[in-house]
Structure 1
Amino acid sequence: MSSPPAPPTARSLASSLIPAVKLGRGYLLAPAAVAACLLAAVLLFSLLDFSSFSTLTPPPASRVAASTAASNASSSPPRTALDTMGTRPAERFTSLREAYERWDAAVGCPAFAEKHRGSSSPSRSLQDPDAAPCGSLRLRHVSLAVRRVTWVPDVLDGVYQCRCGMTCLWTRNEEALADSPDVELYEIWPPPDTRKQGEALRAFMDIEPTRKRSGHEDIFIGYHADDDVQVTYAGKFFRITHNYHVATHKRDDVLIYWSSSRCFEHRNKIARDLFRHVPAHSFGRCENNVGGGDKALELYPDCAATAGRESEWWDHLHCAMSHYKFVLAIENTFAESYATEKLYYALEAGSVPIYFGAPNARELAPPGSYIDGRAVASVEELAAYVRAVAEDPAAYAEFHAWRRCGVVGGYGRNRAVSLDTLPCRLCERASRMGGRHAPAPAQHNATGS
C-alpha cells in the first residue's frame, strides 16, 4: 500500500502559480505575466493558514510542554487528581460511579500505575512466603493440632496442598489425627514448658501489640516480619461472619463513620477533636452519637441480612460503614507493623480510612488508599483536607483507584502472610525443623525417649 502524499510546501504552491514560456533551449518568463502572477501570489498567501504546515511554523507551546512532560516522566511521577486538588470547583456528590468517571477522565489507570510504580518492590515489613527453598523441607506431610486457642476460626480446619508438593493437616479434632501431631498450636494459653524427643513442636501465637513470647515455644507467631512466622490481619478469616453488602452511594451530609467498643482515651480524644470539625456518626460504645449501637439497621435497612441468626451491631459494620466516604481507624497501640482489622475493614467496605496507627502502614496498605492522620500537623488541617476531598469527586475516587486499576503494592504480599495462609506456612516451618522428629531442646535431651 502506498503512503499518503506529503503535504504541499510553500515552494511548490508558489511555483504552481507562475506560468512559464519556453524559448529555445531555456525558459524565459513573460514580463506582464510575471507581474500579474506576483500580485495573485501575494493575495493568495495572505489568505492561507500556514499553521497547518509543520514545515513552516514551530509547534505550539502546549505541544512543547507535553513533550517536556513526557521526557521528564521517567524522573518524576505524573500529577494525579490528589496532586491537583483545589483546581476544580467544590462539588457535593453521592454517586461512586460518577466519581469514578470523573477520575477516569482526569487521570486514568496508566498515570496512577506510573505514579505508584515502585510500590510493589519487596518490603522488609513483610515476610516472603516463597523464600525458603523446597530442598529445605524434611517432611512431605505435616499434621498440626490446634490445642488451646480462642478466636482462631474452625473454618481453617482441613487438609491443605502447599507449595513444593507438601501437604498439611490442620485440625482441632483428635479423631482426624491418625497418629501424633508434628506441631501443636497455642494462643493465649502458653504451651507446655517441656518437650521430649518424639513430641510435637510447640507453636505459640501472640499478635497483640506486645508480641510477648511464652518462653517455651519452638515457633513464635506474631504480626512482625522479625517473628518466626508472620501473621497479619489483612486476610478474610478474621471477619468471616460480617455482612459484606457494600453501598453504591455515599452520604454527603455525614462524612465519617466510627465504631469502637474499647474506649481508650487516646482514641476517644482523636475522635472528639475531629468530630468537632467534620460531621460524623459514632457507633459502638465509645463517643456514641447515634442513640446506640443498634442504630445501624435503622439507618441502613439494606444491611439487615443476618444469615438466619440474631445479630449484633458489629455484624453489620462493613455494610454500615460503606455508606460513608471516610472511616476513622485508630489502633489501640501505635507500633511498627501493627495494622489490624481497623484499617482493613474500611478498605473492604469501599471507604477511605483516616488512619492512626502503624508508622509503616504505607508498606502494608494498597498505594494511595488511606489518609495518614498522624502525618498531619493539626486536627484542623486534617479536617480541612477531609472536607476538601469529600467535595472533589476525582480526588475522592483516586483513593479507590488501587482496586480498580489492580495496583495493590505491598497489600498483595500482606494478604499472602495473613491468617488465611497460616496453615501451610506454619506446617512448612515445622517440616524444615523435622516436626515431631526434631531434636528436643538441649535442656530436655536427658529425659528424652
Structure 2
Amino acid sequence: MPSKDPLILFYTTFFGKPVDIASIRCDLPGQWTLDKRRIAEAATVVFHIPNFREIGDAWKYPGQFWIAWSMESRSNYKRIADPKIMRHFDFTMTHERGSDIWAPYLPRASWWEEVRATPIVAKTEAAPAVLFQSARLNYSGRVDFVQELSHHIKIDSYGRHFRNRTIEGPDLGKKTKLDTVAHYKFCLALENSSETDYVTEKLFDALKAGSVPVYLGAPNVGEFAPEGSYINAADFGSPAELAAYLRHLIPTPDAYEAYFGWRPKPLPDGLAARLQELEAPAFCRLMTFVRQQLEDYPNRPAGRLRLPFGPRSYVGTRLRRWNKKVPS
C-alpha cells in the first residue's frame, strides 16, 4: 500500500446514505472511495459505528488501519464503548476530545464570525420558550425535564415529541427551524445524553438563531461556547427554579440582553484555540492523520488476512446485503 497517495475507504453508509466523498475538500495527496472491492488496496478503512450491521463481511488486510467513526453518544450506541468490538479498530474518529481524530459538532471559526455579525430578531412569539425535539431518547432525563418545566412556563414545541405547534407555510428544514427559533426569547437545547464533550447542533442552532439557549447535556459545555451565551439547566436545583429565572428575565431587558454580550467581543482564548485546531475540515484532518501514521510506521507488521467479526457475522451481513440488493 503506497504511503505517498493513500486510499481511504468508507466501508459503511452514514445512517443509511453513502458518505458524500464528492464534497470533500482537501489539498493533501490521497484518494477516497466507497468501492468495497478496493478494500485490499486501502491504507485505511473507515467504519461508521452506528451502521455496525454493515461491517461484518469486511476482511482486514495486513498493515491496514481500521478507524471507528461516530459522532453519537456512547449511551445511544453502546458498541463504541464495548472493548470486545473496539479492539478490532486501530483508531477512533469521534466527538470525544481524546479521540485520535477529533470530530466534534463545534462549528468552524467562520461560523462564529457570521453569527456575531447577524442582527438579533425581535422576539414576537407569546410563548417565551421553543423546543424542537423528535426523538424520544432520554438518557439525559430531558423528557421529564420538559414535562416539569412546562408546568411553570409556556413552551411551544414543534418536533414530533411534545408537539403543540406546527410550522406555518412551507418547511424548508434547517432554515425554517432557525427562522422560527429566532422569534423566541429562549430555545430549549436538550441533548439526549449527558456525556462529556457531547455538545451537538442543538446548542449551536439556538446561538445562530439569536435565541438564548437553555442547555441540558454535557457537563463541560463551557468549553464549547462563550461564558454568558447560554443558560445551563444544571445550575438550577429544579425545572421550577429554572422557570422562575426565565420568568425574571422576560420583563428585565438588561438582564436578558446580557446573554448577547459575547457577540461584540473576541471569542474566549480556549474556544479560539479549539477552533484553530479544527480549521481544516474533519475528513482533511483524517487524511493528515493517515498520512502521518504511514510515515511514522512505514514497515508495519505484515500479519495475516483476517475476518475480525467471524464467519457467522460475515454470512449475516452478506445475506442482509443480498436482501436489500446492496452492492458488495
Q: Above 0.5 in TM-score? A: yes
**How far is 1:398 from its partner?**
2.0
**How far is 1:312 from its partner?**
6.2
The one of 269, 272, 275 equivalent to 2:144 is 269
**Partner Cα separation in structure 2 for residue 438 and residue 148 of structure 1:** 27
**CA offsets per residue over residues 173-221 of structure 1, 9 Å max, x none?**
65xx9x9443222103348463314xx4221112221143633222211
**Partner Cα separation in structure 2 for residue 169 and residue 287 of structure 1:** 47
Quick check: 1:186 aligned with 2:47?
Answer: yes
**Partner Cα separation in structure 1 for residue 30 and residue 101 of structure 2:** 18
DSSP-derived class of the 2:262 partner: helix
Identity of aligned residues (%): 23
**Partner Cα separation in structure 2 for residue 364 and residue 185 of structure 1:** 26
DSSP-derived class of the 1:171 partner: strand
Q: Which residue of 2 aligns with 1:221?
A: 93
Q: Which residue of 2 aligns with 1:207?
A: 71
**Partner Cα separation in structure 2 for residue 180 and residue 334 of structure 1:** 40
**CA offsets per residue over residues 91-125 of structure 1, 9 Å max, x none?**
xxxxxxxxxxxxxxxxxxxxxxxxxxxxxxxxxxx
**How far is 1:446 from its partner?**
5.2
| Aligned amino acid, residue 158 of structure 1 | I
Kept in 2: contact 1:346–1:352 (CA 8 A): yes
Quick check: 1:254 aligned with 2:127?
Answer: yes
Structure 1 residues 344, 419: CA separation in 2 closer, same or farther (over 3 Å shift)?
farther
**How far is 1:421 from its partner?**
2.1
Kept in 1: contact 2:21–2:32 (CA 8 A): no
Q: Which residue of 2 aligns with 1:160?
A: 26
1:233-252 aligned within 5 A: 233-235=105-107, 248-251=121-124
**Partner Cα separation in structure 1 for residue 22 and residue 254 of structure 2:** 40
**Partner Cα separation in structure 2 for residue 145 and residue 273 of structure 1:** 47
**Partner Cα separation in structure 2 for residue 170 and residue 398 of structure 1:** 48
DSSP-derived class of the 1:144 partner: strand
For structure 2, which runs of at least 5 residues remain unmatched after alignment?
Answer: 75-79, 109-117, 307-328
Structure 1 residues 296, 286: CA separation in 2 closer, same or farther (over 3 Å shift)?
same
**How far is 1:283 from its partner?**
0.9
Q: Which residue of 2 aligns with 1:287?
A: 162
Task: Figure out how many residues of one structure are paired with residues of the other and give that number.
Answer: 277
1:325-336 aligned within 5 A: 325-336=185-196
Kept in 2: contact 1:232–1:414 (CA 8 A): no
| Aligned amino acid, residue 99 of structure 2 | D
Structure 1 residues 334, 418: CA separation in 2 closer, same or farther (over 3 Å shift)?
farther
Quick check: 1:445 aligned with 2:307?
Answer: no
The one of 291, 297, 310 equivalent to 2:168 is 297
Structure 1 residues 248, 446: CA separation in 2 closer, same or farther (over 3 Å shift)?
closer
**How far is 1:256 from its partner?**
0.5
**How far is 1:156 from its partner?**
6.5
**CA offsets per residue over residues 328-377 of structure 1, 9 Å max, x none?**
11111111111112111111221111011011111122221110101101
**How far is 1:438 from its partner?**
4.7
Q: Which residue of 1 aligns with 2:223?
A: 363
Structure 1 residues 146, 389: CA separation in 2 closer, same or farther (over 3 Å shift)?
same
Quick check: 1:196 aligned with 2:69?
Answer: no
Structure 1 residues 346, 439: CA separation in 2 closer, same or farther (over 3 Å shift)?
farther
TM-score, length of structure 2 as denominator length: 0.72
**Partner Cα separation in structure 2 for residue 209 and residue 410 of structure 1:** 23
Structure 1 residues 256, 409: CA separation in 2 closer, same or farther (over 3 Å shift)?
farther
**How far is 1:313 from its partner?**
5.5
Q: Which residue of 1 aligns with 2:233?
A: 373
**How far is 1:321 from its partner?**
1.0
**Partner Cα separation in structure 2 for residue 155 and residue 390 of structure 1:** 46
Structure 1 residues 184, 313: CA separation in 2 closer, same or farther (over 3 Å shift)?
same
